[in-house]
Amino acid sequence: MSSQSYAIFTYDDAATGTAFLEAVGFRRVALHHEDEDRQVVAHGEYAWRATGGLMLGSARRGSDHAEDDQVGRGRIYCVLDRDAEVDETHQRALDAGGRSLAAPADQDYGGRSCTVSDPEGNVLSFGSYAGAHGPAALRPKLVVADADAAIAFYGNAFGAQVQARHAIDGSVVFAQLRLGDLGVEVQVKDADDADPVAAGAPGVLLELTVGDPDAVWERAVDAGATVRFPLTDQPYGARQGRLIDPFGQQWLVSGPLTMSPEQIDAALAEMS
């Protein structure tokens, strides 16, 4: 887990609590039980997407630390990629035994959010608003001659899990992979005439996702980058453009995706 601050949840029934967390999308990183009682969690860690997460443990009645026996007092805000995920996560929370405190709704400050409590009263808010500066991420995009073969190799060799795969006429436009429990994400795509590998260069394209792609684009061009493809709204729900820096490296500057995987597939099908 890479975040430097964590919410801490305390549970009377840790098994139900951890099942709820996994149901709404948290990923188990560590879970240590007491040797004398396997129902008691001494320490647990759950990650949220590539960054962030929480720590948890079982309530300890009679502990010297008062906070050790206080259940249902924690709260955390979890950022989702798309507005539609807010509604989906809200429903999964209810199905897992949670209670709705605020139904999914668009917010005046941006994005969409909801708030639920887990079976023991811990409060979780889920929203697509990622802060005043918006979401930012840098991931390598691996450009290869056979994306599906590469995906299979990365799965067998490194335990990579496919999170998404989108194609046009059998050619992979992009596939999102997560490498094991590292929280590292990469993308893979089939090479086309515009990609570095087509010209014999190493097949790596850096994708920079930011909240304000126009501002980043303008700064990069002013600093000497040349335009490979202009920054435009794409039919699959992102604003993207490609630049070549003064050292020959290609950058895909992108705003966040605004479509669900199903909507992306439908948009790409119309382009084929």
At which of 105, 127, 149 does a domain end?
Answer: 127
Taken in order 242, 243, 244, 249, the sign of the CA dihedral is: negative
- Within a domain: residue 163? yes
- How many structural domains comprise the chain? 2
Q: Are residues 164 and 196 in the same domain?
A: yes
- Within a domain: residue 57? yes
Looking at residue 92, which CATH number applies to its domain?
Answer: 3.10.180.10
Q: Are residues 183 and 241 in the same domain?
A: yes
User: Residue 120 has what pLDDT?
Assistant: 87
The residue range of the domain holding 148 is 137-271
Q: Are residues 109 and 29 in the same domain?
A: yes
- Within a domain: residue 1? no
At which of 99, 127, 155 does a domain end?
Answer: 127
In the chain (272 residues long), the average pLDDT of successive 10-residue segments reads: 59 91 89 85 81 77 49 75 89 95 84 89 83 60 80 74 84 78 62 58 70 86 89 86 78 79 80 72
Q: Are residues 95 and 16 in the same domain?
A: yes
- The span from the CA of 202 to the CA of 215, in Å, is 28
Q: Are residues 69 and 191 in the same domain?
A: no
Q: Are residues 155 and 194 in the same domain?
A: yes
pTM over 0.75: no
- The span from the CA of 166 to the CA of 10, in Å, is 40
> Three-state SS across 106-165?
ECCCCCEEEEEECCCCCEEEEECCCCCCCCCEEEEEEEECCHHHHHHHHHHHHCEEEEEE
* Nearest CA among 64, 76, 61 for reference residue 9: 76
Torsion of CA 208, 266, 109, 27, to 10 degrees: -70
User: Residue 89 has what pLDDT?
Assistant: 94
Q: Are residues 190 and 79 in the same domain?
A: no
